[in-house]
Amino acid sequence: MYNHFEGRITEKTPTYAVIDCGGVGYLLHISLNTYSKIGSSEKARLYAHLAVREDAHVLYGFADEEERELFRHLISVSGVGPGTARMILSSLTASEIAGAILTGNVAVLKGVKGIGEKSAQRIIVDLKGKLGKSDTATATTFFAADNKLRDEALSALVMLGFARNLAEKAVDKVLRAEGNVVSVEQLIKLALKNL
């Protein structure tokens, strides 16, 4: 029904943004990724998804069409509603989610608040074949390098005597902040600062 809203941002929080379009303010629920992409801009274009429930019509906004497409894939999974999909998109980037689905990495999805083992497995099984060919190529390339880097750093930290779950959190935090442009040595040093 709605493709996008473009206009002046009159209010913005990490969970929603109000966009003034021709004198009408539309409240769109957003992910943290969209919030950070909007930044301090006074104007924005948010791609929309309308979720119709018995008690309300809720608009969700996304900084780009790829994030909206991934949101729609996620809500197509049984047991994953718009709130849960938004939580996943707030906790992980679109490429991290696609990579976790394509590589069958249950642990990454389980790291999201409210996602258990069964939900993570269901998301992977349901969406592995649905992601587009271009998404697949991009995510696989990104995650092949990212996983190797992550695995090497984790192995080193575990050998140094740190608990695996704490090491994973520290490494993932660094990877989210720095991306996969850091070397293994830099990743370990930065992760050690978080332990």
pTM, two decimal places: 0.67
What pLDDT shows up at residue 186?
84
180 vs 96 pLDDT, higher one = 96
Residue 144 has pLDDT above 50, yes or no: no
What pLDDT shows up at residue 104?
86
4-127 folds as OB fold (Dihydrolipoamide Acetyltransferase, E2P) (2.40.50)
Structure letter (DSSP) for residue 180: G
Average pLDDT on 98-126 reads 89
> How much of the chain exceeds pLDDT 90, in percent?
48
Mean pLDDT, the chain, whole residue set:
86
CATH class of 143-194: mainly alpha
Residues spanned by CATH 1.10.8 within the chain? Answer: 143-194
Residue 146 has pLDDT above 60, yes or no: no
CB 157 within 8 A of CB 190: no
Residues spanned by CATH 2.40.50.140 within the chain? Answer: 4-127
Which class for 88: exposed (0-12), middle (13-18), buried (19 or more C-beta within 10 A)? buried
